[in-house]
Amino acid sequence: MAHPQSAPTEEKAQATELKTVGQPVQRIDGWEKVTGAAKFADDLDFGPGLLHAFIIDSPHAHARIKGIDTRAAEKVRGVVKVVTGKDFPFRFGLYMKDRHVFAQESVRFVGEQVAAVIATDPKTAQRAAGLVKVDYEELEPILDPVKAFEQTSDLVHPDLGSYTHVPWFFPKAKTNVAHWRKIRKGRIEKGFAEADFVLEDSYRVPRYAHCAIEPHVAIGLFDASSRLTLWTASQSPYTQRHVMAEALSQLGLKHKDVRVVTPYVGGGFGGKAGVTMEILAAALATAVKGQPVKIMWSRAQEFRNTYMRLGLVNKIKLGVKKDGTITALKHTLYWDAGAYVEYAANVVNAVGLSSTGPYKVDNVEIDSICVYTNLSPGGPYRGFGYSEFFFGLESHMSKAAEKLGMDPVEFRRKNAIRENDTLPYGAEMNPNGLLEAIDKTAAAVEWGKKEESKDPNKAIGKSVVCFWKAPAMPPNASSSAFLKFNEDGSINILASGMEIGQGFLTAMAQIASEVLSVPVSQIRVETPDTDRNPYEWQTVASHVTWSCGNAVKKAALDAKEQILDLVVRALNLPKESLFLEDACVKSWARPGWQLPLKDFVISGIQVEDYTFKGGPIMGRGTFLPEFSSAISDPETGQGGHPNVHYTTVAGGVVIELDKETGKIKVLKAVLAVDVGQAINPSMIKGQITGGMLQGLATVLYEDMRYDEKGVLLNPSFSDYKIPTALDVPAEVIPIIVETAQPDGPFGARGMGEHTMIPAAAMIANAVHAATGLRINSMPLTAEKIALALKDKAKGS
Amino acid sequence: MKKIAIEFKLNGTQRQVEVEPSDTLLEALRERVGAKSPKCGCDRGDCGTCTVSFNGKTVRSCLVLAVEADGAEIVTLEGISKEPSKLQKEFAQRNAFQCGFCAPGIVMSATELLGKKKKPTREEIQEAIAGNLCRCTGYTPIVEAIEAAANGGK
Amino acid sequence: MPITCEFEYHKPKTLPEALKLLTDKGSCVLAGGTDLLVWMKEGLRAPKTVVDIKGIAGMGGFTLSASALRIGACVTFSELIESDVVRKKLPMLWECSRTVASVGVRNRATLAGNICSAVPSLDSAPALLVYDAVVEVRGPKATRKVPVAEWFTGVKRTALKPGELVTAVIIPLTKKKAGSCYVKLGRYRGEDLAQVGVAVLALADNEYRVAFCAVGPVPTRAKKIEALLSGKELDDALIAQAKELVPQEISPITDIRSSKEYRLHMARVMLARGLKAACARLAGDAPATGDNLV
Q: How far apart are CA A63 and CA A46, in angstroms?
A: 38
Q: Name the CATH code of domain A311-473+630-795 (choices 3.30.365.10, 3.40.50.300, 3.20.20.60, 3.90.45.10).
A: 3.30.365.10
- Given a contact cutoff of 8 angstroms between Cβ atoms, the answer to whether A53 and A125 are in contact is yes
pLDDT of A11 higher than 90 = no
**CA gap A277, A205 in Å, rounded:** 26
Listed residue (C162, C75, C85, C189) closest to C124, CA to CA: C75
> Do A470 and A349 contact (CB within 8 A), yes or no?
no
Chain B, residues 110-139, CB within 8 A of chain A, namely 125-127, 129-139
Torsion of CA A575, A580, A584, A590, to 10 degrees: -50
Q: Which of A731, A3, A33, A733 is nearest to A440 (CA)?
A: A733
* Residue in C3, C9, C78 nearest the CB of B24: C3
Q: Residue A660: which of C3, C258, C269 has the nearest Cβ?
A: C269
**pLDDT tens string A476-525:** 999 999 999 999 999 999 999 999 999 999 999 999 999 999 999 999 99
Q: Which residue of A has its CA nearest to C184?
A: A661
- Compute CA distances C291 → A651, A731, C274, C278, whole Å: 31, 20, 11, 12
Domains of chain C by range and CATH? Answer: 8-55 (3.30.43.10), 62-172 (3.30.465.10), 178-282 (3.30.390.50)
CB pairs under 8 A between A and C: 57
φ and ψ at residue B31, rounded to 5 degrees? -90, -30
How many C-beta atoms lie closer than 10 Å to residue A38's C-beta? 25
> Measured between CB atoms, does A531 come within 8 Å of chain B?
no
CA distance A355 to A394: 11
Q: Which chains touch A (3 or more CB pairs under 8 A)?
A: B, C
Assess whether pLDDT exceeds 80 at residue A796. no
Find chains touching chain C: ≥3 CB pairs under 8 Å.
A, B
- Smallest CA–CA separation between C227 and chain A, in Å? 26
The minimum CA-CA distance between A372 and chain B, rounded to whole Å, is 29
Nearest in space to A645 (alpha carbons), one of A434, A479, A501: A434
pLDDT at C1: 86
**C-alpha distances out from residue B103 to A38, A263, A379, B143, C233, Å:** 10, 16, 27, 12, 52
Beta strand ranges found along A381-478 (DSSP E): 458-469
Q: How far from the centroid of its chain's Cα atoms is residue B30's Cα?
A: 13
pLDDT tens-place string over residues A313-354: 999 999 999 999 999 999 999 999 999 999 999 999 999 999
> Which sequence spans correspond to the domains of chain A?
9-38+477-623, 41-139+216-296, 311-473+630-795
The single-letter code of the amino acid at B27 is: E
How many residues does the structure list for chain A? 796
Average pLDDT over residues A128-152: 97
Q: For B28-45, what is the mean pLDDT?
A: 98
Q: Which pLDDT value is given to residue B153?
A: 55
Q: What is the mean predicted confidence (pLDDT) over A76-99?
A: 97
Of B46, B104, B107, the CB nearest to A716: B46
| Beta bridge partner(s), residue C169 | C71, C135
Q: What is the DSSP letter of A120?
A: S
Beta-carbon-side half-sphere exposure of residue A757 (alpha carbons within 13 Å) = 33
> How far, in Å, CA of A3 to CA of B67, rounded?
65
Instruction: Identify the chains in contact with B, defined as 3+ C-beta pairs within 8 A.
Output: A, C
CA A473, CA C182: separation in Å to the nearest integer? 53
Q: List, in sequence order, every residue forming a beta bridge with A182; answer none if it has no partner.
A: A367
Residue A267 to residue B76, Cβ atoms within 8 A: no
Task: Check CB contact under 8 Å for B39 and A214.
Answer: yes
Contact B65 C30 (CB under 8 A): yes
Taking CB atoms and an 8 Å limit, are B130 and C190 in contact across chains?
A: yes
Q: Which of B46, B98, B137 best tests the A interface by mutation, with the highest count of A CBs <10 A?
A: B98
Mean pLDDT score, B98-121: 97
Does the beta carbon of B72 lie under 8 angstroms from any beta carbon of chain A? no
What burial letters (b/e) apply to A681-706, b meaning 16+ CB within 10 Å? ebbbbbbbbbbbbbbbbbbbbbbbeb
Cα torsion through C257, C260, C266, C272, rounded to 10: 140
Closest by alpha carbon to A541, among A382, A683, A689, A659? Answer: A382
Average pLDDT on A754-764 reads 98
Q: Do B39 and A123 touch (CB under 8 A)?
A: no
Phi and psi angles of residue A185, each rounded to the nearest 5 degrees, phi first: -135, 135
In contact, A153 and A168? CB cutoff 8 Å: no
Asked whether the predicted pLDDT for residue B82 surpasses 90, the reply is no
The band of B39, judged by pLDDT with boundaries at 50, 70 and 90, is very high
CA pair distance A526, C39, nearest whole angstrom: 42
Q: Supply the pTM of this predicted model.
A: 0.97
- Tell me, letter by letter, the H, E, C secondary structure of chain C: CCCCCCCEEECCCCHHHHHHHHCCCCEEEECCCCCHHHHHHCCCCCCCEEEEHHHCCCCCCEEECCCEEEEECCCEHHHHHHCHHHHHHCHHHHHHHCCCCCHHHHCCCEHHHHHHHCCCCCCHHHHHHHCCCEEEEECCCCEEEEEHHHHEEECCEECCCCCCEEEEEEEECCCCCEEEEEEEECCCCCCCCCCEEEEEEEECCCEEEEEEECCCCCCEECHHHHHHHCCCCCCHHHHHHHHHHHHHHCCCCCCCCCCHHHHHHHHHHHHHHHHHHHHHHHCCCCCCCCCCCC
Question: Sign of the CA dihedral B60, B64, B69, B72?
Answer: negative
Domains and CATH numbers, chain B: 4-79 (3.10.20.30), 86-152 (1.10.150.120)
Q: What is the ipTM of this complex?
A: 0.98
Helices (H), A629-781: 681-700, 759-771
Instruction: Give the distance from CA A594 to its chain's centroid.
Output: 45
- Please give the pLDDT value at position A7: 40
Cα-Cα-Cα-Cα dihedral sign, residues C190, C193, C194, C200? positive
Per-chain mean pLDDT for chain A: 96
Cβ atoms of residues A664 and A782 within 8 Å: yes
Q: What is the CATH number of domain A41-139+216-296?
A: 3.90.1170.50
Q: What is the DSSP letter of A96?
A: B
DSSP conformational letter for B17: E
Q: How many residues does chain B have?
A: 154
Instruction: Give the gap in angstroms from C-alpha C53 to the nearest C-alpha of chain A.
Output: 26
For residues C138 and C166, give the distance between their C-alpha atoms in angstroms, rounded to a whole number.
6
User: Backbone phi, then psi, for C25, in 5-degree steps?
Assistant: -60, -35
pLDDT score of A9 more than 50? no
Matching CATH topology for A41-139+216-296 and A311-473+630-795? no
CB contact under 8 Å between B100 and A266, yes or no, is yes
A514 touches A648 (CB < 8 A): no
Instruction: Compute how many other C-beta atoms are within 10 angstroms of the C-beta atom of residue A626.
Output: 12
CA-based nearest residue in chain B for residue A720: B46
Tell me which CATH code domain A9-38+477-623 carries. Answer: 3.30.365.10
Active site residues of A: 753
Residue C250 reports pLDDT greater than 70: yes
Alpha-carbon gap, residue A319 to A520, rounded angstroms: 52
pLDDT tens per residue across span A344-395? 999 999 999 999 999 999 999 999 999 999 999 999 999 999 999 999 999 9
